[in-house]
Amino acid sequence: MARPRKARSAAVLSLVWLTAFAPAVSAGEASSRPTIEALESSLQRRSTSGDVVRFDGESLQSFAVASRPAATVGDAGPIVRALDIADGQEPFDAQGTVSVARLGTFPVTALLKADRWYGFENCPPRTIAGRNARCARVVPKDPHRLGYTLWVDAEQDALLGFVIHETSGATLEYVQFSRVIVDLTERPLSNTPDVQTTIAVAQEVPRWTPDGFVLQSNERSDREHVMRFSDGVAGFSIFVTPVADSATTTGESRWGASAIVDRIVRGGDGRDFLVTLAGEIPMATARRILLGVQPSF
């Protein structure tokens, strides 16, 4: 009994120090592509359920994850239920649920196709929810994408957790099982886009987007224009809305891995527009994209 307790005490001291001072973990040496390929296969053959802990940079939240019944086979994602109550008032909204659902729907196939934009590196294994996990680091090849660390079950190849990193290596979002059940089940993967597919070019497409992000959706009404871009792994949406008053307050915020930036921009016709970008990209990239949007209704 004594030795594990001493180990725990050492872990306590190490973690306090590491959490405060240590830099991002250095990259591994070999490619983690085989681990990610195994995960791709596993997502079709296995489902995971249990309890999940999520840290979004502000708070620690817990969720219950259940496998989706076969009757709703059209949607491959798991059922996620938030267990926490934010500030004792409201149940957590969709933001955390979307993140946790990625444990069952991570766009692995798209990730493997997007190796022009992402590199794959090994990292040291660890234990998650009492199971041995291999580590695969997904490193963006330019500063306009976020990075990922994936924890894959060493025996069943199921996704046990992931971390989303800022380009600096800082953690934006952390999701992992604290208790997990891995089931053998045939279920379809969610659709992933062909990143080479573009649709009709929108008039207001930003003058600049990072390489690899292509227009996936272009919806226009008389009160809003919404464009969505994706590199297959991450995506962002741009909303263009006419506003009556240029004094509308704008700002920037980050919600876990998601960045939101909005600006008031004067269109060519002299009207003012609220232009908002929301997506899982670095804040600096979001700002730069937004600078190139010229509204015109």
Partner 1 sequence: MTEQLKESLSAVLDDAADAFELRRVLDETSRNDSLRETFERYQLVKSVLRRESSAQTLRDRVSLQRRVRESLDVAIPDIPNEEVVEPMATPPSASKTRWPLGIGAAAVVLVAASVLYWGSSGSTPESAAPGIVAIPPVETQVVANRARARDVDGSGRSETVDAAVVRRHERYLTFHHRFGTDQQPDAGKVAEPTPAAGTDR
Sign of the four-CA dihedral 269, 271, 272, 278: negative
Of the candidate residues 84, 154, 181, 202, the single one contacting partner 1 (CB under 8 A): 84
Three-state secondary-structure class, residue 45: helix
By CB under 8 A, what part of segment 12-41 binds partner 1?
A: 12, 14-16, 18-20, 22-25
The yes or no reply on residue 201 touching partner 1 (CB under 8 A) is: no
Binder to partner 1 among 31, 44, 171, 294 (CB under 8 A)? 171
Cα Dmax for the chain: 76
The one segment of 30-38, 66-74, 205-213, 225-233 that binds partner 1 by CB under 8 A: 225-233
Query: How many residues of this chain interact with partner 1, rule: CB under 8 A?
Result: 108
Query: How far is 21 from 10, CA to CA, in rounded Å?
Result: 16
If binding is defined by CB under 8 A, does position 115 make contact with partner 1?
A: no
Stretch that binds partner 1, among 35-43, 66-74, 204-212, 234-242 (CB under 8 A): 234-242
Distance of closest approach, residue 71 Cβ to partner 1, in angstroms: 19
Structure tokens at 116: 């022009």
Site for partner 1 in 86-105 (CB under 8 A): 87-88, 93-95, 98
Determine, following the binding rule CB under 8 A, whether residue 138 of this chain makes contact with partner 1. Answer: no
Nearest to 234, CA basis, from 278, 193, 281: 281
- Determine, following the binding rule CB under 8 A, whether residue 112 of this chain makes contact with partner 1: no
Per CB under 8 A, which of residues 57..76 are in contact with partner 1?
Answer: 57-60, 62, 64
Tell me which of 31, 154, 252, 297 binds partner 1, using CB under 8 A: 252
Tell me the one-letter amino acid at 75.
Answer: D
In whole angstroms, what is the distance from residue 213 CA to residue 132 CA? 35
Nearer to partner 1, 33 or 189 (CB): 189
Instruction: State the residue for tokens 């604290």.
Output: 178
The three-point CA angle 234-240-243 to 5° equals 145
Which helix H or strand E contains 264, and what residues bound it?
Answer: strand 258-266
- Touching partner 1, residues 271-290 (CB under 8 A): 274, 276, 278-280, 283-284, 287
The first and second tokens of residue 281, run together, are 């990209």
